[in-house]
Structure 1
């Protein structure tokens, strides 16, 4: 299985440098000058990193053989990938480790299966396919996902009310009672007199 390190973005300058949209927490280890990195689609690579630098909070990279802006623009959208291994960090998991895990509530009720992980600006979101087929994004934060048990094949969720589609079915809409001011004849409930 392959992990996404980054997606190549727009060209920067005129000499083939590109901006990267990172998907790794450790760019210094992944973007080592002289290293070769596979791509998706595979025919776009492998690419050899000739230069890598951090500029105004954004990683910029130059690849061997990419010497001008036109060549850099043609690379836009290419994904840089590496072979996956198992994460050895506590409280850190690769997306492929999470995909397929059973999603259950704290009482053991199975609510679905983890389909993957989406990287959003605020934080990562678990993509859950609920038992009714609904696709739900669950914030991947400890307060809502207190347990990730990869060996046990499960994640435990403690979602706020209404987050899961199964909860939406249980929410009741209050029906107006007769004489509560709701009039089916279209009137506003007044007797038409001015006091």
Structure 2
């Protein structure tokens, strides 16, 4: 946030600013889930969620629907289609390879573990790239910067993997949470990125919002 000092509530205000951020996080989760329904739009929808939550944290102001839509549209048709097709193709390829690895072929178990590791690494890199402030200019350079940050911050990678694991566990226990979970996941990954000091040429907040 722009200030870590306690903020007083206005007269008649029922909830403090932290509850407002929590409500915004859930609202962004619903918006992201709806925007991801075509599946191919999921990467762009999640990147827009990270962008609006990052701005809300740093500038200490509520999120609006118009702001989310603007962030979504900022990617452009070509970029979001390319990102969606790439992610969908990668997921399909990994699922097919895992199915073949489980068919009892020689060396199937080592292959399955290797593919799982590749999938986990790719997921962490993609999620870190989604939080990049310059992702609207292209996913490829964002992925390159995400790889650099991941190499320098393995603890952050572990935190992101843990956040994904928790979301999967919550989804398994209560599938109805699928409409809300994108928001908390985007918030968690954004918080992980904001907790580290950025390079001089990037505009990142040096403090964690939590």
Question: Higher relative CO (CA 8 A, sep ≥ 6), structure 1 or 2?
Answer: 2
Greater strand fraction, Structure 1 or Structure 2: 1
Q: TM tier, shorter chain?
A: under 0.3
Larger Rg: 1
Q: TM-score, normalised by structure 1?
A: 0.24
